[in-house]
């Protein structure tokens, strides 16, 4: 009802315009949001209109059909479906023959609407759609030399672009030889995406981009297996798929939060239809249970129709995979165990203290050339009772500079925006060679200890001979201790940084962090002191002004070797 009501309200409203000036804006300013906000809103409105026509009663369909066809035509009339940010050297911001993530998504959406709504789309309009997809996407993909850059990379671009282009072709292309050539090219390209995952199923893209990349990869598998009646599959004979499917659920935290290293989002819910499909296809009870539980939460809260890409593809999957089991109402999301990903170099541990507070710790080793990289070896986050207490900023506003030379001037990506050491006035450096090594992992029922070597994460100018960091998480006691042991070339300065919420205050020798329902103490251990609590401003992913606090701590005496350590404890809870 809510979706149809929105579609009704928007029926006579013009779509937000995409003017030439908006296409050109990114080339001139490097800002993405002025173009992308109306771009995605146009697609959301089209999706709402399409679903309303599909699911509404006869009178609703009759009223909304003109609106749907007008929106479909308007987006088809767009010269270029690619974002200007992805053709950054083109002053006009337009390149109809360039296929990026969102051009591919658009192609898939149009193909699916052409199939599902074929009885109401006029033949002339349907022919235009088929012609554009055939030339700009199917032939373009199959014949392009050299191939698009995303065919050989290891991140979400590979999976998402392939799903959009191939999914559309599998749905509507009648030239079987062309589809065969496309599949042949994809068979050589998609393994590059899979190689971006460790044997443990992990990816440094994190759970948010897992939802996108692996989510679209899985949807392509569903389309491929359906079209070929199971003769072709992306899942069969790949034992890593099951572990990949479990990665993001294991990185999910309470209260709609998730582990957000690198350019991850701090909040977000995994896709219920995706988890439902994976649970059924892989015969995985945990994924099935989680999918049902998330569907139930969605029913209680109602679906967010304004989520960035809540388009026809998203809405149709929500409807097609909604559970019919009457027991869904009592379905609880399964608790995730403590987990260590050796290939990623990351750990997630959870526990409840004697006061009933629920702690969730995530920490990483890794290296500084990861997907959506931040210089963050040794960083960590802590949520208590479902609320962030020690933070990862995650993805800031995406601009031209953030994806170019200026990336590590942004607070979100540089070391000074993470809870890591600052050695002799030097942050960590970018590059695969600047890495951490896991030394010890001990996961017990009530105690987790994790130790890593950060010595190679810093440039030679830092003079860092040895730097070992240890996390000791004592669950029932409600205490987390972070300890840095270091040796420098000579006596110098050593600081350990902690990123906290903006309302953090210094209280004598301690710092106090207040979240909803709990107050935490940051207690420097003997020989360590707090030197500053600083406010740091940055632009959030949606272009909003945001702030965090940076707690700086250091040994009481500058020396060539020493220890900096602090504990996080609950001060009070309510």
Report CA 89 to chain centroid distance, whole Å: 26
Residue numbers in the chain where pLDDT is lower than 70 = 326-331, 572-574
Fold of 339-573: Beta-galactosidase; Chain A, domain 5 (2.70.98)
DSSP 203: -
| CA proximity to 486, closest of 410, 413, 420, 572 | 420
Distance CA 6, CA 11 (A): 9
All residues at 6 or more sequence positions from 109 whose CB lies less than 8 Å from its CB, including other chains:
43, 46, 47, 311, 312, 313
* Under 8 Å between Cβ of 380 and 361: yes
pLDDT at 131: 99
Residues composing the chain: 574
Secondary structure (3-state) at 367: strand
Give the pLDDT of residue 307.
86
Report pTM: 0.95
Whole-angstrom distance, CA of residue 334 vs CA of residue 477? 24
CATH class of 101-274: mainly alpha
Which of these, 509, 490, 496, 511, lies nearest to 554 by C-alpha position? 496
Those residues whose C-beta lies under 8 Å from the C-beta of residue 348, and which sit 6 or more positions away, are 250, 251, 259, 336, 338, 339, 360, 361, 362
Alpha helices in 144-205 (DSSP H): 156-172, 176-194
What CA–CA distance (Å, rounded) separates 522 from 512?
6
Which strand (E) or helix (H) includes residue 281?
helix 272-281
3-state helix, strand, coil in the chain (%, to 5): 40, 25, 35
What is the dihedral sign for C-alpha 260, 266, 268, 269? positive
**Phi/psi at 296 (5° precision):** -65, -40
Dump the DSSP string for 539-554: EBTTS-EEEEEEEEEE
Per-residue confidence (pLDDT) for residue 329, from 0 to 100:
55
- The span from the CA of 300 to the CA of 312, in Å, is 22
- Residues sharing a CB contact under 8 Å with residue 258, sequence separation 6 or more, in sequence order: 206, 207, 208, 248, 251, 252, 264, 265, 266, 267, 268
Three-state DSSP at 100 gives coil
Q: What is the DSSP letter of 235?
A: S
Contact, 422 vs 458, CB < 8 A?
no
Sign of the alpha-carbon torsion through 73, 58, 113, 273: positive
Every domain of the chain and the residues it spans:
1-98, 101-274, 339-573
In contact, 78 and 18? CB cutoff 8 Å: yes
Residue 459: phi and psi, rounded to 5, are -70, 160
Query: Degrees (nearest 5) of the Cα angle 223, 103, 194?
Result: 50
């Amino acid at each position: 009802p809510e979706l149809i009501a929105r579609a009704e309200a928007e029926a006579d409203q013009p779509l937000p315009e995409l003017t030439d000036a908006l296409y050109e804006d990114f080339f001139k300013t490097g800002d993405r949001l002025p173009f992308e906000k109306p771009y995605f809103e146009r697609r959301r409105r089209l999706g709402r209109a399409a679903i309303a026509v599909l699911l509404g009663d006869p009178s609703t369909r009759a009223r909304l059909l003109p609106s749907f066809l007008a929106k479909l035509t308007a987006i088809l009339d767009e010269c270029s479906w690619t974002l200007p940010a992805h053709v950054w050297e083109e002053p006009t911001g337009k390149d109809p023959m360039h296929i990026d993530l969102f051009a591919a998504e658009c192609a898939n959406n149009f193909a699916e609407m052409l199939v599902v709504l074929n009885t109401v789309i006029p033949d002339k309009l349907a022919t235009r759609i088929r012609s554009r997809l055939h030339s700009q996407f199917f032939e373009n993909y199959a014949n392009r030399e050299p191939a698009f850059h995303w065919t050989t990379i290891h991140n979400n671009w590979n999976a998402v672009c392939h799903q959009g282009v191939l999914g559309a072709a599998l749905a509507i292309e009648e030239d079987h030889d062309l589809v065969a050539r496309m599949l042949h090219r994809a068979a050589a390209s998609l393994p590059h995406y899979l190689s971006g995952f460790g044997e443990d199923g992990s990816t440094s893209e994190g759970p948010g981009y897992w939802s996108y990349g692996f989510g679209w990869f899985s949807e392509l598998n569903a389309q491929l297996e359906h079209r070929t009646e199971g003769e072709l599959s992306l899942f069969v004979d790949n034992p890593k798929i099951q572990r990949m499917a479990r990665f993001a659920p294991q990185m999910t935290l309470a209260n709609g939060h998730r582990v957000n290293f690198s350019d991850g989002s701090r909040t977000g819910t995994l896709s219920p239809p995706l988890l439902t499909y994976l649970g059924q296809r892989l015969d995985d009870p945990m994924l099935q249970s989680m999918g049902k539980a998330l569907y139930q939460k969605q029913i209680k809260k109602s679906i967010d129709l304004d989520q960035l890409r809540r388009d026809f593809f998203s809405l149709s999957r929500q409807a097609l995979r909604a559970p019919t089991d009457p027991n869904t109402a009592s379905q609880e999301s399964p608790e995730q165990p403590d987990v260590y990903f050796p290939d990623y170099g990351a750990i997630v541990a959870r526990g409840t203290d004697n006061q009933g507070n629920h702690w969730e710790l995530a920490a990483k080793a890794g290296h500084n050339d990861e997907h959506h990289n931040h210089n963050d070896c040794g960083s960590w986050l802590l949520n208590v009772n479902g609320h962030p207490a020690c933070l990862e900023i995650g993805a800031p506003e995406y601009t031209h500079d953030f994806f170019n030379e200026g990336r590590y001037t942004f607070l979100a990506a540089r070391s000074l925006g993470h809870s890591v050491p600052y050695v002799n006035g030097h942050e960590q450096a970018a590059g695969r060679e600047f890495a951490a090594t896991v030394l010890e992992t001990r996961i017990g029922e009530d105690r987790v200890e994790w130790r890593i070597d950060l010595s190679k994460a810093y440039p030679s100018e830092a003079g860092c001979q040895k730097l070992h960091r240890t996390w000791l998480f004592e669950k029932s006691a409600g205490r987390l201790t972070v300890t840095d042991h270091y040796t420098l070339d000579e006596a110098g300065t050593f600081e350990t940084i902690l990123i906290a919420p903006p309302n953090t205050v210094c209280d004598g020798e301690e710092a106090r962090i207040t979240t909803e329902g709990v107050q935490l103490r940051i207690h420097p251990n003997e020989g360590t002191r707090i030197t500053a609590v600083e406010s740091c401003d940055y632009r959030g992913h949606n272009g909003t002004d945001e702030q965090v606090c940076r707690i700086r701590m250091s040994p009481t005496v500058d020396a060539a070797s020493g220890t900096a350590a602090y504990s996080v404890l609950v001060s009070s809870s309510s």
